[in-house]
Chain A
Amino acid sequence: MAASILSERDIEFMLYELFDAENMTLRERYSDHSRETMNAALTTARAVAEKYFVPIRQKVDTHQPTFDGEKVHMVPEIKAAVDAVIDSGLAAGAADYELGGMQLPSIVADTVTVYLTAAGSSTMGYTTLTNANANLIEAHGTAEQIERWVEPLRSGRFAGTMAMTEPGAGSSLADLTTSARKAEDGSYRITGNKIFISGGDHDLNENIVHLVLARIKGAPAGVKGISLFIVPKFLVNSDGSMGERNEVSLAGLFHKMGGRGHTSTALNFGENEGAIGYLVGEENEGLRYMFHMMNEARIMVGHSAAALALTGYQYSLAYARERPQGRLPSAKGAGSSPVNIIQHPDVRRMLLAQKAYSEGAFALCLLGSQLMDDTRTGESEELRLRADTLLDFLTPVIKSWPSEYGPRANSLAIQVMGGHGYINEHPVEMFYRDNRLNPIHEGTYGIQSLDLLARKVPMNGMAGYRVFVSEVEKTLEEASFQPELKDYAVELELAVASLTDTTNQLLHAMEHEPIDLVLSNSVKYLEFFGNVVVAWIWLRQGIVAARALADDPHEADRDFYRGKLQALRYFFRFELPETEAWAKLLVNLDSTSFDMQESWF
C-alpha cells in the first residue's frame, strides 16, 4: 500500500488557489521567487521526507532515547535526518539569503515544515524548536548575542530549547523559582530546576542554547519579575570556539506517550556556583520576549497538529481503498464478494470527517502563516496593522482548533483501519500519540480558551473580533454569487450572529456576575468560536472549488473540487450545528461544572 505523506494536489490548492502564494512575489523580499522556485523547495522537502524521515519513523518511536547517567543515546538515524534537513537548507527556508536561507514566503516555508513534520514529527521537533529559539534571540538580543548564537543556530552547529516549566510551575509561570544573580562581569549565575525541556540534552549538535526564564534576586513577585537568559550547555569563547562545560546538567529523561524521538528532559542549572547566563533585553521583561516566541510556536503547534491529521487521513484513505472486508446491507447472500471498506458509508463518514478536520485545520494554519508574513512584509501600514490585529486575535484558535480536532482525526484513522489501526504495523496509532501532545504544550486547551475569552475578545474595544467579522462578511458576499453555496452562507451568517450575541452577553456577564462562573465554560466558547472560524475557512475553500468547477476542469480536478464541496457540506451538516447547543449553555451561564463539588466525585 502506497500512501502519500500529504496530498500534492491539496497543497497546490491551498498555496496557489486558496491563498495565492504567487502574489507574494510582488513583494520586494520575495521578488526572486516564482511558483517554480516554491515548488522546487517543496520537491526537496518531499525528497528528504521520503528518504530520511518515513523509513525511520517506526524505529524512532520504538527506540526511545536513553540516559546512562552521563550521556543521552539515541538511534543514529535521527542525526542523519536532522543533518539532511540542515544541509538541504530546509531548516532555514524563510531566513535571509545572507543567513543561508531561501527567503521563502512564510506560507511556503511553513508548508515545507509541515511536509517534514507529517513524515516524522518527533525528529523534526529538534529543527523547529531551534528555529524558534534563534528567532527570539534575533528579535530581542544584542548584535553581539546575535552574532555569537544565532549564526551557529541557523547553520545547524548549535541547537536551541526553551526552558520555562519547573516542577512547581507549569501553566502558571508566575510561580517559577529559578533564580539569577548578577556577577561582576555583567553576566548572571542561574540556579534552579526545569522539567519537560524538549531537546534539553543530546549529541546531535556541538552545543545547546537554552533560553531560560528566571527571577533576578529582588525582582517583583509574579509574572512581572521574570527575566530571560541565554544559558549554553558549553560556554563559547570570544573567538567563537567552544569553551568549558557550563553548569547545566541532565537529571533525567521523561518517557512520553508520543513524540518519543524528541528528548524531554529534566535539567539542573547551577549545582555549584550557578550556570553562566546572559540576559536577553531588559530585566523583568522576559515573559514578553518569551511570548514573542510563544506566539510563533503556537502557530507551529497548529501546523504540526494539522500535519499529523493530514497524513493520518492519507494513510487511512489509501488503506480503505484497498482493504476488502464485509458486504453492504443490500448485498444478497454470503457468497457475494466482499467490498473494499471505503464502500461502507460509515467508513466514508469517518474519512470525510478526517478530511474536514485536517484540511480545515491546515487552511486555518496557512492563514496564520500568511497573516504573520503580512505583519512583516505587507505593502501598506494599514495591511500590516490589520494582519497583526487579526493574527493576534486568532492565535488561540489557530493553536487549539487543530490540536483538538487533529487528534480526533487521527482517532478516526485508527477506527477506519480497525484492529490494524491499533497495532504498530501501521503508523496511525503513532500519529495519534504524537498528536496528543498538541492540546497540552505551549498553553493548554483551557489556557487558550481563557486567553481568547478573557483577553483577546475584549481587547482594544473588540478590535480583533471586529476585523474577524468583517473578513467573514467579505466571504459571505463572495459566496452569495455561487448558487450552490448560498445556503451555507446563510448558515454561517446565522452562526456568526449567534456568536456575536453570545460574546456580548458573556462580556456583559464578566462585568456583573462572578468571574469564575462566567469563565467556567470558556472551553465551550473556544469550540464555538473555533467551529465558526473553520466553517468560514471551509466556505472560502468552497468558493474556490465552485468557481473552478464552473470552468469545466478535467476529470481528476472535477473530482478534487467535488471532494472539497462535500467536505464543506459535511462540516456544515455535522459540526457547525453543535454550536447551537454550546451557545445555549454559554448564554445561560450554565453552572453544571462550576457547581460540582470535589467531594461529590
Chain B
Amino acid sequence: MKVLVAVKRVVDYNVKVRAKGDGSDVDLNNVKMAINPFCEIAVEEAVRLKEAGVATEVIAVSVGEKACQEQIRTALALGADRGIQVETEGSVEPLVVAKLLKGVVEKEQPQLVILGKQSIDGDNNQTGQMLGALTNMAQGTFASEVKIDGETVNVTREVDGGLQTVQLKLPAIVTTDLRLNEPRYASLPNIMKAKKKQLDVYSPADLGVEVKSHLSQLKVEPPAERQAGIKVEDVDQLVDKLKNEAKVI
C-alpha cells in the first residue's frame, strides 16, 4: 500500500510572529521555519504504517517555494521513502493546494493520503476536506486513531461530544489531530541518508493545474495589547461596567 503524506513549511511554533510594518503580511524575514506540527504527526503515522508492514512506500509531498524542500527532507529523515515538491510562488490558498495534491494523487495513486488537520499559520482546516471532495475519496478528519483493515480503514475522530469512529473504503483521506501519535525525532545518520533520497519537483503545469487566487489578504495586524485590569468597588460598579464599557450585558 502506497501512502502519500502532505507536509507544509510554516513558522516554527516557538517563534512569536510579527506583522510587517506596512500591515501587508506576517514578517517571515529571517524567521525560523519548521514542518507544521500536524503534518509531523501525519508523517509519523505514515512511517508507523510502514514499520508495521501495512504500507510499502511513503511519499512526502509539499507545495511551495524551493525552501520547502527542507521540510520534505525532514519528512525523509523521519522515514518517508521519497519526496515530491510542487513548486509554487508566494502563498497559495487551500483550494489551490488541494487541486495540486489531487494532481499528485492521480500520478501516484496512493491508497491512503494523510494530512495535518490544519496548518498553524493559516489555521484554515480546509485542504484535506477539499482534497476529499475533488478526488471523490472518503475522508476521516481529526483522527486520533487509524487502523487499516484489509480494504477499509477505521478512523477514530475527535469530535465535540467525544470520539466517533468511521469506516472508510480505501483509497481514503485522513487528517490528523494532536493525539494521534507522538512524532519521533530524526536520528543523525537518518538526516544524512535523507539527503540521498529521491526528490522530484513538479510545476503546477505538470499536474495540469492553473494557480489562481480567489482570496486577497487585506490586512495583518497584531492583536491588541491586553490592558491591565482593575478592582471594582462593588457589584453595582461591575454591572455598570459590563453594561456600558464592555457592552456584554
B187 near A37: Cβ-Cβ < 8 Å: no
Q: How far is the CA of A92 from the CA of B27 in the complex (A)?
A: 37
Q: How far is the CA of A87 from the CA of B187 in the complex (A)?
A: 7
Q: How far is the CA of A174 from the CA of B70 in the complex (A)?
A: 55
Give which listed residue, A8, A44, A556, A557, contacts B188 with CB less than 8 A.
A44
B141 in the interface (beta carbon within 8 A): no
Q: How far is the CA of A485 from the CA of B1 in the complex (A)?
A: 63
B188 near A90: Cβ-Cβ < 8 Å: yes
SS class, residues of chain B in contact with chain A: loop
Stretch of A95-103, A159-167, A470-478 lying at the B interface: A95-103
A32 in the interface (beta carbon within 8 A): yes
B241 in the interface (beta carbon within 8 A): no
Chain B contacts for A87, CB-based, 8 A: 187
A102 near B195: Cβ-Cβ < 8 Å: no
A45 → chain B closest CB, angstroms: 9
B14 near A8: Cβ-Cβ < 8 Å: yes
B209 → chain A closest CB, angstroms: 28
Q: With A40-B186, A88-B185 given, is the CB distance from A554 to B191 under 8 Å?
A: no
Q: Mark A33-58, 1 if CB is under 8 A from B, else 0.
A: 00011001101100110000000000
Chain A contacts for B197, CB-based, 8 A: none
Of the listed residues A36, A47, A97, the one surrounded by the most CB atoms of chain B closer than 10 A to its CB is: A36
Q: With A37-B195, A553-B30 given, is the CB distance from A44 to B187 under 8 Å?
A: yes
CB nearest neighbor in B for A40 = B191
B188 near A102: Cβ-Cβ < 8 Å: yes
A1 → chain B closest CB, angstroms: 15
Give which listed residue, A36, A40, A102, A554, contacts B29 with CB less than 8 A.
A554
Q: How far is the CA of A459 from the CA of B140 in the complex (A)?
A: 73
B119 in the interface (beta carbon within 8 A): no
Give which listed residue, A8, A101, A553, contacts B32 with CB less than 8 A.
A8
Q: Range of interface residues on chain B?
A: 20 to 34
CB nearest neighbor in A for B228 = A337
Q: With A8-B14, A36-B73, A556-B18 given, is the CB distance from A44 to B195 under 8 Å?
A: no
A565 → chain B closest CB, angstroms: 19
Q: How far is the CA of A88 from the CA of B77 in the complex (A)?
A: 12
Q: How far is the CA of A103 from the CA of B29 in the complex (A)?
A: 30
Quick one: which of B34-76 are within 8 Å of A by CB? 70, 73-74
Chain B contacts for A553, CB-based, 8 A: 30
B192 near A32: Cβ-Cβ < 8 Å: yes
B189 in the interface (beta carbon within 8 A): yes
Q: How far is the CA of A427 from the CA of B189 in the complex (A)?
A: 33
B192 near A102: Cβ-Cβ < 8 Å: yes
Q: How far is the CA of A154 from the CA of B185 in the complex (A)?
A: 21
Q: How far is the CA of A92 from the CA of B195 in the complex (A)?
A: 19
Q: How far is the CA of A186 from the CA of B185 in the complex (A)?
A: 47
Of the listed residues A90, A100, A554, the one surrounded by the most CB atoms of chain B closer than 10 A to its CB is: A554
Q: How far is the CA of A97 from the CA of B189 in the complex (A)?
A: 8
A131 → chain B closest CB, angstroms: 14
Q: With A8-B32, A553-B30 given, is the CB distance from A37 to B185 under 8 Å?
A: no
B185 near A47: Cβ-Cβ < 8 Å: yes
A555 in the interface (beta carbon within 8 A): yes
A225 in the interface (beta carbon within 8 A): no
CB nearest neighbor in B for A84 = B185
Give which listed residue, B18, B27, B77, contacts A40 with CB less than 8 A.
B77
CB nearest neighbor in B for A92 = B188
Q: How far is the CA of A47 from the CA of B182 in the complex (A)?
A: 12
Q: With A8-B32, A36-B73, A40-B77 given, is the CB distance from A48 to B27 under 8 Å?
A: no
B30 near A37: Cβ-Cβ < 8 Å: no
Q: Mark A87-114, 1 if CB is under 8 A from B, else 0.
A: 1111011000100111110000000000
Quick one: which of B2-35 are within 8 Å of A by CB? 14, 16, 18, 27, 29-30, 32
Chain B contacts for A97, CB-based, 8 A: 189, 192
Give which listed residue, B16, B29, B30, B187, contacts A88 with CB less than 8 A.
B187
Give which listed residue, B14, B27, B70, B186, contacts A554 with CB less than 8 A.
B27
A207 → chain B closest CB, angstroms: 23
Q: How far is the CA of A89 from the CA of B192 in the complex (A)?
A: 11
Chain A contacts for B187, CB-based, 8 A: 44, 87-89
B14 near A102: Cβ-Cβ < 8 Å: no
B48 → chain A closest CB, angstroms: 17
Chain B contacts for A557, CB-based, 8 A: 30
A89 near B18: Cβ-Cβ < 8 Å: no
A89 near B27: Cβ-Cβ < 8 Å: no
CB nearest neighbor in B for A36 = B70
Chain B contacts for A92, CB-based, 8 A: 188
A314 → chain B closest CB, angstroms: 13
Chain A contacts for B190, CB-based, 8 A: 89
Q: With A553-B30, A554-B18 given, is the CB distance from A88 to B73 under 8 Å?
A: no
Q: Mark A368-403, 1 if CB is under 8 A from B, else 0.
A: 000000000000000000000000000000000000
Q: How far is the CA of A508 from the CA of B27 in the complex (A)?
A: 61
Q: How far is the CA of A539 from the CA of B58 in the complex (A)?
A: 50
Q: How far is the CA of A93 from the CA of B70 in the complex (A)?
A: 20
B14 near A40: Cβ-Cβ < 8 Å: no
Chain B contacts for A556, CB-based, 8 A: 16, 18
Q: With A40-B74, A555-B18 given, is the CB distance from A89 to B30 under 8 Å?
A: no
CB nearest neighbor in B for A48 = B185
Chain A contacts for B29, CB-based, 8 A: 554
B18 near A44: Cβ-Cβ < 8 Å: no
Chain B contacts for A90, CB-based, 8 A: 188
Chain B contacts for A44, CB-based, 8 A: 185-188, 191
Q: Mark A544-560, 1 if CB is under 8 A from B, else 0.
A: 00000000011111000
A88 near B188: Cβ-Cβ < 8 Å: yes
B51 → chain A closest CB, angstroms: 15
A109 → chain B closest CB, angstroms: 9
Q: How far is the CA of A48 from the CA of B185 in the complex (A)?
A: 8
Chain B contacts for A41, CB-based, 8 A: 188, 191
Q: Mark B159-193, 1 if CB is under 8 A from A, else 0.
A: 00000000000000000000000000111111110
B191 near A37: Cβ-Cβ < 8 Å: yes
B195 near A32: Cβ-Cβ < 8 Å: yes
Q: How far is the CA of A103 from the CA of B192 in the complex (A)?
A: 9
Quick one: which of A267-281 are within 8 Å of B by CB? none
Chain B contacts for A100, CB-based, 8 A: 189
Q: How far is the CA of A554 from the CA of B32 in the complex (A)?
A: 14
The 9 closest A-B pairs by CB, nearest first: A89-B188, A47-B185, A102-B188, A40-B191, A89-B187, A44-B185, A88-B187, A89-B189, A36-B70
Q: Please report B residues at the A interface, Cβ cutoff 8 Å.
A: 14, 16, 18, 27, 29-30, 32, 70, 73-74, 77, 185-192, 195
Q: A8-B32, A48-B185, A103-B192 are in contact. List 5 more A-B contacts (CB 8 A).
A: A36-B70, A40-B74, A89-B188, A89-B190, A554-B30
- 22 pairs from A and B in contact (CB 8 Å cutoff): A36-B73, A37-B192, A37-B195, A40-B74, A40-B186, A41-B188, A43-B185, A43-B186, A44-B186, A44-B187, A44-B191, A88-B187, A89-B187, A89-B188, A90-B188, A92-B188, A93-B188, A101-B188, A104-B188, A554-B18, A554-B29, A557-B30
Q: Please report A residues at the B interface, Cβ cutoff 8 Å.
A: 8, 32, 36-37, 40-41, 43-44, 47-48, 87-90, 92-93, 97, 100-104, 553-557
